[in-house]
């Protein structure tokens, strides 16, 4: 009889602990509480990959802009991309950054072809 009673107290302590972890204490149902705890852990990892991609894309654009202004082309990255698409030269940001870093003269040649 004592073991059963102690087990009941232990169960109530565990349930109280899980209730304190859950926000707003959804009705005190254990299943709902566990679902909410799982949902609460999702946003911690959800955006990290996207954030990493955004940072990398921003870095590539900054590199291209710096090289464009260093070479002496009079317009910015966005104008360069726009003119590339108008002339149907489909080079994405990553390839443009690799071209700009490895061979600046090639980027100058591409920009001159766009202007014609």
Could you tell me if 99 and 106 are in contact, meaning their C-beta atoms sit under 8 angstroms apart?
A: yes
Tokens at 67, concatenated: 């090289």
Per-residue tens of pLDDT for the chain, all 116 residues: 444 555 555 556 666 555 555 555 555 566 677 777 777 777 767 778 888 899 999 999 999 988 888 877 778 888 888 989 999 988 889 999 999 889 888 888 888 888 77
Domains of the chain and any CATH numbers: 2-46 (no CATH), 50-115 (1.10.1900.20)
pLDDT at 30: 63
pLDDT at 13: 61
Which residue is associated with the tokens 């707003």? 24
pLDDT at 1: 40
In sequence order, the 6+-apart residues with CB closer than 8 A to the CB of 8 are: none
């Amino acid at each position: 009889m004592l073991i059963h009673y102690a087990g009941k107290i232990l169960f109530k302590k565990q349930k109280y602990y899980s209730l304190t972890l859950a926000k707003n204490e959804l009705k005190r149902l254990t299943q709902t509480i566990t679902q909410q705890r799982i949902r609460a852990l999702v946003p911690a990892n959800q955006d990290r990959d996207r954030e990493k991609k955004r940072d990398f894309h921003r870095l590539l654009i900054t590199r291209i802009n710096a090289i464009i202004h260093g070479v002496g082309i009079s317009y910015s990255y966005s104008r360069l991309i726009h003119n590339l698409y108008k002339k149907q030269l489909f080079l994405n940001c990553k390839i443009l950054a690799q071209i700009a870093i490895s061979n600046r003269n090639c980027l100058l040649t591409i920009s001159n072809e766009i202007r014609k």
